[in-house]
Amino acid sequence: MSQPQVQSDTDSEVLYEVADHIATITLNAPDRMNTISGEMLNTLTEILLTADRDPEVRCIIMTGNGRAFCAGLDLRGAGQGGTGLSGASQTTNLDVRATPPTVMHNLDTPLICALNGGAAGYGMDMAMGCDIRIMGTSGKLSAAFTKRGLLPESGGTWILPRLLGWAKAAEVIFTGRTMGAEECLEYGLVNHVVADEDVQGTARELAAEIASNAPLAVAAAKRMMRMGLKETFDEHVHHVFLQLLPLMRTKDFGEGVKAFMEKRDPDFQGK
Protein backbone atom coordinates (compact mmCIF):
# COMPACT_ATOMS: atom_id res chain seq x y z
CA MET A 1 0.00 0.00 0.00
CA SER A 2 1.39 3.37 -1.00
CA GLN A 3 2.04 6.16 1.45
CA PRO A 4 0.08 9.43 1.32
CA GLN A 5 1.29 11.47 -1.64
CA VAL A 6 -0.19 14.80 -0.53
CA GLN A 7 -1.20 16.00 2.89
CA SER A 8 -2.30 19.48 3.92
CA ASP A 9 -1.57 21.42 7.10
CA THR A 10 -3.62 19.84 9.89
CA ASP A 11 -4.49 23.33 11.18
CA SER A 12 -6.26 24.24 7.95
CA GLU A 13 -10.05 24.47 7.88
CA VAL A 14 -10.02 22.20 4.82
CA LEU A 15 -7.73 19.17 4.95
CA TYR A 16 -6.49 17.34 1.88
CA GLU A 17 -4.78 13.98 1.63
CA VAL A 18 -4.07 11.59 -1.24
CA ALA A 19 -3.28 7.91 -0.76
CA ASP A 20 -3.87 4.83 -2.89
CA HIS A 21 -5.41 6.90 -5.71
CA ILE A 22 -8.05 8.29 -3.30
CA ALA A 23 -8.18 11.97 -2.33
CA THR A 24 -9.86 12.79 0.98
CA ILE A 25 -11.16 16.32 1.54
CA THR A 26 -12.13 17.01 5.15
CA LEU A 27 -14.01 20.06 6.41
CA ASN A 28 -12.09 20.90 9.56
CA ALA A 29 -14.01 23.45 11.62
CA PRO A 30 -15.70 21.12 14.15
CA ASP A 31 -16.11 23.89 16.75
CA ARG A 32 -18.77 25.46 14.52
CA MET A 33 -20.05 22.20 12.98
CA ASN A 34 -18.04 22.84 9.79
CA THR A 35 -20.09 25.82 8.68
CA ILE A 36 -18.48 27.27 5.56
CA SER A 37 -16.70 30.62 5.72
CA GLY A 38 -15.72 32.67 2.69
CA GLU A 39 -12.12 31.55 3.06
CA MET A 40 -13.23 27.91 3.17
CA LEU A 41 -15.23 28.39 -0.04
CA ASN A 42 -12.12 29.52 -1.88
CA THR A 43 -9.92 26.81 -0.39
CA LEU A 44 -12.46 24.08 -1.12
CA THR A 45 -12.75 25.20 -4.75
CA GLU A 46 -8.96 25.12 -5.18
CA ILE A 47 -8.64 21.69 -3.58
CA LEU A 48 -11.45 20.19 -5.67
CA LEU A 49 -9.79 21.43 -8.86
CA THR A 50 -6.40 20.17 -7.68
CA ALA A 51 -7.82 16.69 -7.05
CA ASP A 52 -9.62 16.58 -10.40
CA ARG A 53 -6.46 17.56 -12.29
CA ASP A 54 -4.21 15.07 -10.49
CA PRO A 55 -3.78 11.93 -12.64
CA GLU A 56 -2.99 9.97 -9.46
CA VAL A 57 -6.47 10.69 -8.04
CA ARG A 58 -9.17 8.30 -9.22
CA CYS A 59 -11.83 9.00 -6.60
CA ILE A 60 -12.52 11.78 -4.09
CA ILE A 61 -14.10 11.45 -0.64
CA MET A 62 -15.56 14.53 1.02
CA THR A 63 -16.28 14.39 4.74
CA GLY A 64 -16.15 16.46 7.93
CA ASN A 65 -14.45 16.42 11.31
CA GLY A 66 -16.57 16.29 14.44
CA ARG A 67 -20.26 15.56 14.88
CA ALA A 68 -21.53 17.26 11.70
CA PHE A 69 -20.66 17.07 8.04
CA CYS A 70 -21.61 20.71 7.46
CA ALA A 71 -24.25 22.82 9.19
CA GLY A 72 -24.44 25.29 6.30
CA LEU A 73 -22.83 28.64 5.60
CA ASP A 74 -21.14 30.60 8.37
CA LEU A 75 -23.86 33.17 9.04
CA ARG A 76 -22.01 35.18 11.66
CA GLY A 77 -22.68 38.83 10.97
CA ALA A 78 -25.66 38.21 8.71
CA GLY A 79 -28.04 39.84 11.19
CA GLN A 80 -26.02 43.06 10.99
CA GLY A 81 -26.50 43.38 7.23
CA GLY A 82 -23.33 41.49 6.27
CA THR A 83 -23.04 38.63 3.86
CA GLY A 84 -22.93 36.07 6.63
CA LEU A 85 -19.72 34.64 5.18
CA SER A 86 -16.67 35.37 7.26
CA GLY A 87 -14.03 36.72 4.93
CA ALA A 88 -16.38 36.98 1.94
CA SER A 89 -16.68 40.25 0.08
CA GLN A 90 -20.02 42.02 0.12
CA THR A 91 -20.97 41.93 -3.53
CA THR A 92 -23.94 41.15 -5.70
CA ASN A 93 -21.66 40.12 -8.57
CA LEU A 94 -20.69 36.64 -7.41
CA ASP A 95 -18.99 34.43 -10.01
CA VAL A 96 -20.79 31.15 -9.28
CA ARG A 97 -18.58 29.36 -11.81
CA ALA A 98 -15.79 29.36 -9.22
CA THR A 99 -17.88 28.18 -6.25
CA PRO A 100 -17.76 24.60 -4.88
CA PRO A 101 -21.23 23.43 -6.08
CA THR A 102 -20.55 24.44 -9.69
CA VAL A 103 -17.02 23.03 -9.57
CA MET A 104 -18.30 19.79 -8.04
CA HIS A 105 -20.90 19.41 -10.78
CA ASN A 106 -18.22 19.67 -13.47
CA LEU A 107 -15.66 17.30 -11.92
CA ASP A 108 -14.85 14.23 -13.99
CA THR A 109 -13.46 12.42 -10.93
CA PRO A 110 -16.08 10.45 -8.94
CA LEU A 111 -17.01 12.17 -5.69
CA ILE A 112 -18.27 10.33 -2.60
CA CYS A 113 -19.77 12.13 0.40
CA ALA A 114 -19.07 10.40 3.71
CA LEU A 115 -21.77 11.97 5.87
CA ASN A 116 -20.21 11.71 9.30
CA GLY A 117 -23.16 13.65 10.77
CA GLY A 118 -25.84 16.13 9.86
CA ALA A 119 -25.84 18.26 6.72
CA ALA A 120 -28.01 21.37 6.65
CA GLY A 121 -28.62 24.12 4.12
CA TYR A 122 -25.48 24.66 2.09
CA GLY A 123 -24.07 21.49 3.61
CA MET A 124 -27.01 19.50 2.27
CA ASP A 125 -26.55 21.06 -1.18
CA MET A 126 -22.87 20.06 -1.11
CA ALA A 127 -23.75 16.51 -0.11
CA MET A 128 -26.33 16.33 -2.90
CA GLY A 129 -23.68 17.59 -5.32
CA CYS A 130 -21.61 14.47 -4.74
CA ASP A 131 -22.14 11.43 -6.95
CA ILE A 132 -22.59 8.96 -4.08
CA ARG A 133 -23.55 9.45 -0.43
CA ILE A 134 -22.80 7.21 2.58
CA MET A 135 -24.69 8.18 5.76
CA GLY A 136 -24.41 7.08 9.37
CA THR A 137 -27.52 6.02 11.27
CA SER A 138 -27.54 9.24 13.28
CA GLY A 139 -27.08 11.44 10.20
CA LYS A 140 -29.66 13.92 8.97
CA LEU A 141 -30.28 16.09 5.93
CA SER A 142 -31.96 19.41 6.63
CA ALA A 143 -33.34 21.55 3.79
CA ALA A 144 -33.77 24.45 6.19
CA PHE A 145 -33.50 27.21 3.60
CA THR A 146 -37.08 28.48 3.70
CA LYS A 147 -36.94 28.48 7.51
CA ARG A 148 -34.13 31.05 7.20
CA GLY A 149 -35.78 33.17 4.52
CA LEU A 150 -33.67 31.68 1.73
CA LEU A 151 -33.87 29.07 -1.02
CA PRO A 152 -31.48 26.21 -1.90
CA GLU A 153 -28.92 28.49 -3.51
CA SER A 154 -26.20 26.01 -4.35
CA GLY A 155 -27.75 23.42 -6.61
CA GLY A 156 -30.59 22.03 -4.52
CA THR A 157 -33.38 23.34 -6.75
CA TRP A 158 -31.68 21.65 -9.73
CA ILE A 159 -30.62 18.40 -8.06
CA LEU A 160 -33.57 17.50 -5.83
CA PRO A 161 -36.28 17.44 -8.55
CA ARG A 162 -34.01 15.14 -10.58
CA LEU A 163 -33.38 12.82 -7.64
CA LEU A 164 -36.86 12.82 -6.13
CA GLY A 165 -39.27 13.94 -8.83
CA TRP A 166 -41.11 17.25 -8.67
CA ALA A 167 -43.69 16.45 -5.99
CA LYS A 168 -41.32 15.01 -3.39
CA ALA A 169 -38.72 17.70 -4.05
CA ALA A 170 -41.40 20.37 -3.64
CA GLU A 171 -42.42 18.90 -0.28
CA VAL A 172 -38.85 18.75 1.01
CA ILE A 173 -37.89 22.25 -0.16
CA PHE A 174 -41.11 24.11 0.64
CA THR A 175 -41.38 22.67 4.17
CA GLY A 176 -37.68 23.02 5.01
CA ARG A 177 -37.87 19.46 6.28
CA THR A 178 -35.20 17.61 8.26
CA MET A 179 -34.92 13.95 7.29
CA GLY A 180 -33.32 11.15 9.28
CA ALA A 181 -31.10 8.46 7.81
CA GLU A 182 -33.83 5.92 7.04
CA GLU A 183 -36.04 8.52 5.37
CA CYS A 184 -33.07 9.69 3.30
CA LEU A 185 -32.46 6.10 2.22
CA GLU A 186 -36.13 5.56 1.41
CA TYR A 187 -36.18 8.74 -0.71
CA GLY A 188 -33.00 7.71 -2.51
CA LEU A 189 -31.04 10.71 -1.23
CA VAL A 190 -28.27 8.45 0.08
CA ASN A 191 -26.87 5.22 -1.33
CA HIS A 192 -26.16 3.42 1.93
CA VAL A 193 -26.89 3.86 5.64
CA VAL A 194 -24.34 2.23 7.93
CA ALA A 195 -23.34 2.43 11.58
CA ASP A 196 -21.81 5.81 12.40
CA GLU A 197 -18.43 4.25 13.06
CA ASP A 198 -18.47 2.53 9.66
CA VAL A 199 -19.12 5.60 7.49
CA GLN A 200 -15.49 6.36 6.68
CA GLY A 201 -14.52 2.74 6.15
CA THR A 202 -17.50 2.08 3.88
CA ALA A 203 -16.76 5.21 1.83
CA ARG A 204 -13.14 4.21 1.47
CA GLU A 205 -14.00 0.66 0.43
CA LEU A 206 -16.30 2.01 -2.27
CA ALA A 207 -13.69 4.55 -3.37
CA ALA A 208 -11.09 1.78 -3.62
CA GLU A 209 -13.46 -0.29 -5.77
CA ILE A 210 -13.94 2.67 -8.11
CA ALA A 211 -10.20 3.44 -8.14
CA SER A 212 -9.41 -0.12 -9.21
CA ASN A 213 -11.14 0.46 -12.55
CA ALA A 214 -9.74 2.21 -15.62
CA PRO A 215 -9.71 5.90 -14.57
CA LEU A 216 -10.07 7.31 -18.08
CA ALA A 217 -13.14 5.13 -18.65
CA VAL A 218 -14.69 6.09 -15.30
CA ALA A 219 -14.13 9.79 -15.98
CA ALA A 220 -15.61 9.46 -19.48
CA ALA A 221 -18.65 7.63 -18.10
CA LYS A 222 -19.27 10.37 -15.55
CA ARG A 223 -18.82 13.05 -18.19
CA MET A 224 -21.36 11.34 -20.43
CA MET A 225 -23.84 10.92 -17.58
CA ARG A 226 -23.62 14.65 -16.94
CA MET A 227 -24.08 15.51 -20.61
CA GLY A 228 -27.00 13.09 -20.85
CA LEU A 229 -29.02 15.22 -18.44
CA LYS A 230 -29.59 17.78 -21.17
CA GLU A 231 -29.37 15.78 -24.41
CA THR A 232 -31.79 13.80 -26.52
CA PHE A 233 -31.07 10.09 -26.79
CA ASP A 234 -29.84 10.39 -30.39
CA GLU A 235 -27.47 13.24 -29.50
CA HIS A 236 -26.24 11.34 -26.48
CA VAL A 237 -25.35 8.06 -28.18
CA HIS A 238 -23.45 10.05 -30.80
CA HIS A 239 -21.36 11.75 -28.11
CA VAL A 240 -20.83 8.43 -26.31
CA PHE A 241 -19.44 6.95 -29.53
CA LEU A 242 -17.02 9.86 -29.83
CA GLN A 243 -15.83 9.14 -26.26
CA LEU A 244 -15.53 5.43 -26.97
CA LEU A 245 -13.13 5.74 -29.91
CA PRO A 246 -10.19 7.28 -27.98
CA LEU A 247 -10.77 4.89 -25.05
CA MET A 248 -10.31 1.92 -27.38
CA ARG A 249 -6.86 3.25 -28.25
CA THR A 250 -5.66 3.44 -24.64
CA LYS A 251 -3.23 1.08 -22.97
CA ASP A 252 -5.83 0.53 -20.26
CA PHE A 253 -8.29 -0.89 -22.79
CA GLY A 254 -5.65 -3.35 -23.93
CA GLU A 255 -4.87 -4.25 -20.34
CA GLY A 256 -8.55 -4.72 -19.55
CA VAL A 257 -9.03 -7.15 -22.43
CA LYS A 258 -5.80 -9.00 -21.64
CA ALA A 259 -6.68 -9.31 -17.95
CA PHE A 260 -10.12 -10.65 -18.87
CA MET A 261 -8.64 -13.28 -21.16
CA GLU A 262 -6.05 -14.25 -18.54
CA LYS A 263 -8.64 -14.31 -15.76
CA ARG A 264 -6.75 -11.91 -13.50
CA ASP A 265 -7.29 -8.46 -12.01
CA PRO A 266 -6.22 -5.66 -14.39
CA ASP A 267 -3.48 -3.20 -13.54
CA PHE A 268 -4.70 0.10 -14.95
CA GLN A 269 -2.29 3.00 -15.35
CA GLY A 270 -4.59 5.74 -16.56
CA LYS A 271 -2.94 5.78 -19.99
| pLDDT number for residue 96 | 63
Question: What's the pLDDT tens digit per position in 173-214?
Answer: 999 889 999 999 999 999 999 999 999 999 999 999 999 999
The domain limits of the chain are 6-211, 215-261
Instruction: Give yes or no for a contact between 125 and 154, defined as CB atoms under 8 angstroms apart.
Output: yes
Cα 58 to Cα 38, 172, 208, distances in angstroms:
28, 33, 9
Instruction: Give yes or no for a contact between 237 and 231, defined as CB atoms under 8 angstroms apart.
Output: no
Segments in the chain forming alpha helices (H): 38-53, 100-105, 122-128, 156-164, 166-175, 181-187, 199-211, 215-228, 233-247, 251-261
| pLDDT number for residue 146 | 79
| pLDDT number for residue 95 | 60
- How far does CA 187 lie from the centroid of its chain? 18
Fold of the CATH domain 6-211: 2-enoyl-CoA Hydratase; Chain A, domain 1 (3.90.226)
Positions of the chain with pLDDT under 70: 1-10, 75-98
| pLDDT number for residue 57 | 97
pTM: 0.87
Instruction: Give yes or no for a contact between 14 and 47, defined as CB atoms under 8 angstroms apart.
Output: yes
